[in-house]
């Protein structure tokens, strides 16, 4: 009886799945896990791959923007698969996909290259020697080329690169003017000899899928309800009913069912029932044990992934290349500094995270930025900001003091800038406190910070989200550029970065929006809008203006065409202004219009913008001296 009671007391966890999300049929002998889709009626249509049947030889393939690559393995538990890189042309150190410029993924899709890849670029031109890649004679690439022989052995320049950075998450680029060949290895142990390296592969991960799309309740099963997507995009999805949760790996709703009654889960004393209960209990114990083992393995994989993430963050902090030094804070330090993330310490909240005010033990006031739990994009932006800020050190850029690697969500610690942002000052009650000279100095400091990113940082950095709310002001109204979550390093493409257009409406470069090519001139355009805000104290987008003038750039452009630019100047600035001050206001307006040129080649560089602002300030200073 004790055995029966003990057995029945064993906690069993059973997963109950729905059929709302349909897994695709196997491709030959290879399973296709959810959400990957090989057809219109299975998987999630945002996660399309190919099941190729070549003379009854089925194989899965991943289709990029310009090519197709075989999938060699899939690990659904970690939401990753490995593709086979392009082969080399016969007797040449050239990959077959050179004609299509290598692997070019669509950043709008839920796939990206992971940081587990070590990419070797071979047969490179001297132009790559000025890039941030490791092209030295001691690089791992030379070890590989010299050990494997073949046509790449005599290639004079080859480079090693650790993938998964901000601009390489979606491409492995080869071209005649850069490198003509590449290969990649997943989870490479650099201490192993080349003959013990794994076979070449490039690891791709997919973002956790949302609930399945539905047109009506008939598309969902009894465990889910067809409802509107809270993101407000007009899509309806099968949301799990109360008590169930969405399992993105299994593609189903699931719940935990437990029996913890030491006297059994029924009152029958029939001997047959006892035997049945014993059998059922032993069976349940067996099932539970198997599930427990699987859960343990999954937790171990998650722990390993978290440990890898911790190492990555620490490596980023420790490999700052002479830039700003930063430290790793403990979770206890961060909780104590923010009073355990108290609501009264909250400075601001956005779509991807929150910012809290904190006090370190030495009295230093800091701002702590936290990515939202479970928000993949937020985590990516915070980690990207670490990569960026550890490489820069300029008085006009917000300083990174360090990050925390012990807590579940990524945390960044910044110097605290106490006086709010430029947007709030220009469009709030403190607008009158910002004189014309203050505005010129704010424009100068911001331009100097952006020019530093474009011309002094190695590699160059494109901010990608220049706007007045990302320009912080201290108590003396000194400006500091902040928020580098969308910033990009100019890594593998020395002329531009190809990326999905992101930014803020009203500040976004229209040419970048059209062709997805990000350059330093995209930041110049956004800065031109900031200059207009400084000049007019009006918002970049304001529906209170006439329909044709909602966009500030369009509105001021029209005023310039009508030779009425002074009419657009903030009335508070014009009141009591001298003729020379009005001339400097017009000069800044014309500079802003130059930054907003439709064709980016007609816009000045940020260095030229700094020089022009310094000239305008010299005119204003001359007036004061006179």
CA distance 66 to 5: 63
Beta bridge partners of 184: 119
Residue 459: cis peptide before it, omega within 30 degrees of 0: yes
Active site residue 465: yes
Extract the tokens encoding 13: 């966890």
83 within 8 A of 64, measured Cβ to Cβ: no
Output the six-digit token pair for 271. 């001997």
CA distance 226 to 215: 8
What is the DSSP track for 201-233? Answer: -EEEEEPPP-SPB-SSGGGS-TTEEEEE-TT-S
Cis peptide before 339 (omega within 30 of 0): no
Q: Beta strands 411-415 and 171-172: pairing type?
A: unpaired
Helix axes of 552-561 and 520-536: crossing angle, nearest 10 degrees: 70
Tokens 């108290």, located at residue? 342
Helix (H, G, I), strand (E, B) or coil at 421: strand
CA 262 to chain centroid, in Å, comes to: 50
Buried b (16+ CB within 10 A) or exposed e, 111-136: bbbbbbbbbbbbbbeeebeebbbbbe
What phi, psi does 601 have (nearest 5°)? -70, -15
* Residue 243: closest CA among 233, 253, 231: 253
Count other Cβ atoms within 10 Å, centred on residue 353.
23
Cβ–Cβ < 8 Å for 506, 552: yes
Beta strands 117-124 and 159-162: pairing type? antiparallel
**Rounded distance, CA 270 to CA 337, Å?**
63
Left if phi > 0, otherwise alpha if psi is -120 to 50, otherwise beta: which for 565?
Answer: alpha
- CA 100 to CA 85: how far, in whole Å? 13
User: Angle, to 10 degrees, between the axis of helix 376-389 and the axis of helix 271-318?
Assistant: 20
* Nearest CA among 587, 571, 576 for reference residue 620: 587
Rounded-to-integer distance, Cα 333 and Cα 361, Å? 8
Residue corresponding to tokens 């900031």: 530
Active-site annotation holder among 44, 97, 465, 523: 465
Strand partners, 411: 370, 404
Asked if 372 and 410 count as a contact pair (C-beta separation under 8 A), the reply is no
- CA 585 – CA 591 distance, rounded (Å): 10
DSSP code per residue over 85-132: PPPBPTTSS-BGGGGGTSEE--TTSSEEE-TTEEEEEEEE-GGGGGSS
Phi, psi of 493, deg, nearest 5: -115, 110
For the annotated catalytic residues, the residue numbers are 465
């Amino acid at each position: 009886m004790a055995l029966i009671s003990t057995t029945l007391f064993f906690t069993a966890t059973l997963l109950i799945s729905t059929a709302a999300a349909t897994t695709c049929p196997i491709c030959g002998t290879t399973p296709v896990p959810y959400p990957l889709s090989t057809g219109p009626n299975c998987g999630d249509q945002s996660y399309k791959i190919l099941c190729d049947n070549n003379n009854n030889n089925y194989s899965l393939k991943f289709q990029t923007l310009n090519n197709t690559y075989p999938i060699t393995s899939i690990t659904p538990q970690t939401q990753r698969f490995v593709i086979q890189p392009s082969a080399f042309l016969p007797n040449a150190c050239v990959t077959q996909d050179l004609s299509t410029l290598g692997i070019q993924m669509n950043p709008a899709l839920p796939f990206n290259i992971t940081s587990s890849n070590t990419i070797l670029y071979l047969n490179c031109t001297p132009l790559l020697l000025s890039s941030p890649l490791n092209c030295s004679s001691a690089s791992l690439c030379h070890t590989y080329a010299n050990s494997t022989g073949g046509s790449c052995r005599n290639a004079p320049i080859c480079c090693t690169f650790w993938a998964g950075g901000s601009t390489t998450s979606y491409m492995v680029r080869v071209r005649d003017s850069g490198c003509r060949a590449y290969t990649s290895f997943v989870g490479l142990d650099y201490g192993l000899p080349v003959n013990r390296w794994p076979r070449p592969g490039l690891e791709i991960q997919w973002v956790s899928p949302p609930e399945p799309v539905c047109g009506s309740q008939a598309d969902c099963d009894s465990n889910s309800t067809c409802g509107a997507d809270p993101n407000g995009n007009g899509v309806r999805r099968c949301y799990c009913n109360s008590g169930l949760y969405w399992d993105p790996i299994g593609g189903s709703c699931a719940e935990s069912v437990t029996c913890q009654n030491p006297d059994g889960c029924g009152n029958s004393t029939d001997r047959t029932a006892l035997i049945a209960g014993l059998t059922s209990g032993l069976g349940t114990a067996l099932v539970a044990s198997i599930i427990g083992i699987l859960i343990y393995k999954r937790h171990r994989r998650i722990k390993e992934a978290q440990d890898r993430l911790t190492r990555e963050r620490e490596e980023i902090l420790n490999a700052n290349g002479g830039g700003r030094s930063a430290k790793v804070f403990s979770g206890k330090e961060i909780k104590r500094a923010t009073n355990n993330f108290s609501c009264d310490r909250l400075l601001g909240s956005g779509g991807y995270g929150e910012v809290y005010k904190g006090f370190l033990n030495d009295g230093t006031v800091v701002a702590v930025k936290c990515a939202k739990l479970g928000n993949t994009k937020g985590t990516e932006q915070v980690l990207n900001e670490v990569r960026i800020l550890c490489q820069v050190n300029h008085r006009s850029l917000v300083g990174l003091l360090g990050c925390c690697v012990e807590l579940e969500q990524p945390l960044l610690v910044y110097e605290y800038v106490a006086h709010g942002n430029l947007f709030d000052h220009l469009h709030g009650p403190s607008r009158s406190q910002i004189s014309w000279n203050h505005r010129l100095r704010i424009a100068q400091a911001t331009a100097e910070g952006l020019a530093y990113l474009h011309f002094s940082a190695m590699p160059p950095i494109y901010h990608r989200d220049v706007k007045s709310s990302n320009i912080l002001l201290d108590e003396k109204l000194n400006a500091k550029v902040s928020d580098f979550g969308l910033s990009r390093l100019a890594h593998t493409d020395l002329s531009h970065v190809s990326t999905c257009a992101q930014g803020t409406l009203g500040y976004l470069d229209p040419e970048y929006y059209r062709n997805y090519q990000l350059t330093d001139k995209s930041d110049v355009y956004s800065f031109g809008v900031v200059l207009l805000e400084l000049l007019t104290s009006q918002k970049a987008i304001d529906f209170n203006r006439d329909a044709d003038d909602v966009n500030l750039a369009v509105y001021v452009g029209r005023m310039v065409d009508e030779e009425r630019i002074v009419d657009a100047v903030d009335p508070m600035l014009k009141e009591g202004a001298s003729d020379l001050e009005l001339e400097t206001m017009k000069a800044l307006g014309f500079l802003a219009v130059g930054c907003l040129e439709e064709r980016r080649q007609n816009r000045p560089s940020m260095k030229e913008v700094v020089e022009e602002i310094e000239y305008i300030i010299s005119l204003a200073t001359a007036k004061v001296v006179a």
